[in-house]
A and B are shown apart, each in its own frame.
Chain A
Amino acid sequence: MSDFLDRFGRGQSMCHRWPPFVKLFAAVAMILAATCAPITHGPLVGIVACVIFFAHTLARIPLRYVGRRLLFFWPTLFLMAISLPLSQAGQKGWLLFVTILVRGTLSFSTALWLVNVMPFDQLLATLRRLRVPDVLLAILSLMYRFLFVLWDELDRMRTARSARLFRKPSLWETWRSAAHLVGRLLIRALDRADRIHGAMLARSWNGRTRWIEPRREDQR
């Protein structure tokens, strides 16, 4: 589960060999292009999509892998976008709906490309050199570290639940037990956050975070 988002992060393609700054700026440029291209200009949006598709091919990231991650992302995106046609009657609402879907998909694909051509620790180091605030980096770092730990925890709880299901549950029961799982996970996450804070304090953390690179010769 830990490589769900960046399975190809330590590959050897041409894109992987680019300097970190180039990769980061390429991703930012692609996201800007995706979000700025007017949705009514089909060819322009198509060109941006082709560039992103080409970038994935160049980095040897299988499109099936990208597609599967998009399947996880689309329901959230859909829920966000559907509120617009419901609140704004007429064609304008639907145009906004399509705009959010297309831009969200292209931006997500680009972000996926970035974390698959640049391991997350390298991405954080690059952002640090660009003087992104420490608090933001610490949040990103902890989020990346514990997202998968919590996901694994959820997975274990789901398995434990399945092991005690002796018949196919009704839709109502499924939703009810899913709500219980999420509530339980939230409590566990809070407990874990408490323990992590304790572990940070135990190693003399005083609220400020300092970073260094492993070795000078490794700096790129």
Chain B
Amino acid sequence: MSESAVRVEHLSFRYPGGPDVLTDISFTIAPGEIIGLVGPSGAGKSTLLQHLNGLLPSKLPEFVGQVCIDNIPVARQTIAEVRRRVGFLFQDPDDQLFCPTVFEDVAFGPLNLGLSDDEVRQRVRDSLTSVGLADYEPRSTLRLSLGERKRVCLAGVFACQPSVLALDEPFSSLDPRARRKLIAILKQFSGSQIIATHDLDIVVDLCHQVLLLDGGQLRAAGQTRDILGNVALMERHGLEVPWRLRPK
């Protein structure tokens, strides 16, 4: 079996009583690879990301197919290991920051992993330093800017030392400076990443490959410039060719 960080095979899913959200999705992500997940709103991007972390129960009859992280199939018995390996960044940082202080929030994951107190403190320090918020430990999570909140969320994810990052709209509503900081942080991460975003210029900058999702189906997959530079394909799926790939 070839080495893959993420392998999704014939994944189909619908919420109970609802229409199909994902239909027969298959793809793989190699270790260290950065994948952009693009598509119009309601394409199923967030649902697909949630499957990577086992947040949608695979035992439902609405679930068909298989998702593997580092060749471990996502299942009830492996869910703890899968969640240790996949760091999930939610679109709205207020959903992810649920502790009163930055320290407690970043420590939440490592504490659940059963690490010793000293190890937890070290991981909190390291991950906050890696996102440029070294002295934020005692700060209240209520009194942070949106950019800071996103970075604290990312520190909380880094503190679990995942091998795969699943990021749901990480750049939405960020000002250019906060966006640049976040891009720089993501570029330093050595593991695999899958980034669902509408910001296609950042996809060109960051991602090696692109998956184009529309109506719950994988419509195209390939090299970033080949997919995002294809005017006809982009227009067919309600997207625009990013500025950097437009013909001069």
Contact = CB atoms under 8 A, between A and B. Distances in A.
B75 to A, nearest CB: 15
A interface secondary structure, majority: helix
Contact of B92 (A120, A121, A195): A195
Contact of B98 (A121, A199, A211, A212): A199
B137 A214 contact: yes
Contacts of B98: 141-142, 145-146, 196, 199-200
Interface string B26-65: 0000000000000000000000001001010000000000
Given A149-B94, A212-B111, A215-B121, A202 B142 contact: no
Interface residues of B, number: 40
B112 A196 contact: no
Contacts of B50: 198
B88 A202 contact: yes
A208 to B, nearest CB: 8
B120 A195 contact: no
B148 interface: no
A206 interface: yes
B111 A145 contact: no
Contacts of A3: 142-143
Contacts of A141: 98-100
B121 A145 contact: no
A59 to B, nearest CB: 19
B160 A204 contact: yes
Contact of B117 (A148, A195, A212): A212
A151 to B, nearest CB: 11
Contacts, number: 92
B55 A203 contact: no
Contacts of A121: 100-101, 104, 138, 140
A2 B121 contact: no
B55 to A, nearest CB: 5
A145 B138 contact: no
B88 A148 contact: no
Contacts of A124: 100
Interface residues on A, range: 20 to 34
B114 to A, nearest CB: 8
- Label chain B's interface by main secondary structure: helix
Nearest to B50: A198
Interface string A192-220: 10011011111111100011101100000
A8 to B, nearest CB: 14
Interface in B80-114: 80, 83-84, 86-88, 90, 92, 94-101, 103-104, 107-109, 111-113
Contacts of B95: 192, 195-196, 198-199
A215 B118 CA distance: 9
Contacts of B88: 199, 202
B120 A199 contact: no
Interface in B129-161: 137-138, 140-143, 156-157, 160
Contacts of B55: 198, 201-202
A168 to B, nearest CB: 34
A93 interface: no
A203 B112 contact: yes
A60 B85 CA distance: 49
B137 A206 contact: no
Report the 6 A-B pairs with minimum CB-CB distance, sorted nearest first: A203-B109, A2-B142, A204-B112, A202-B88, A195-B95, A121-B100
Given A124-B100, A199-B96, A214-B138, 10 more contacts: A119-B140, A121-B100, A195-B92, A196-B95, A196-B96, A196-B98, A202-B83, A203-B157, A204-B112, A212-B121
Interface of B: 50, 53, 55, 80, 83-84, 86-88, 90, 92, 94-101, 103-104, 107-109, 111-113, 117, 120-121, 124, 137-138, 140-143, 156-157, 160
17 contacts: A3-B142, A124-B100, A141-B99, A141-B100, A195-B90, A198-B55, A199-B96, A199-B98, A200-B98, A202-B53, A204-B83, A204-B160, A206-B80, A211-B111, A212-B121, A214-B103, A214-B124
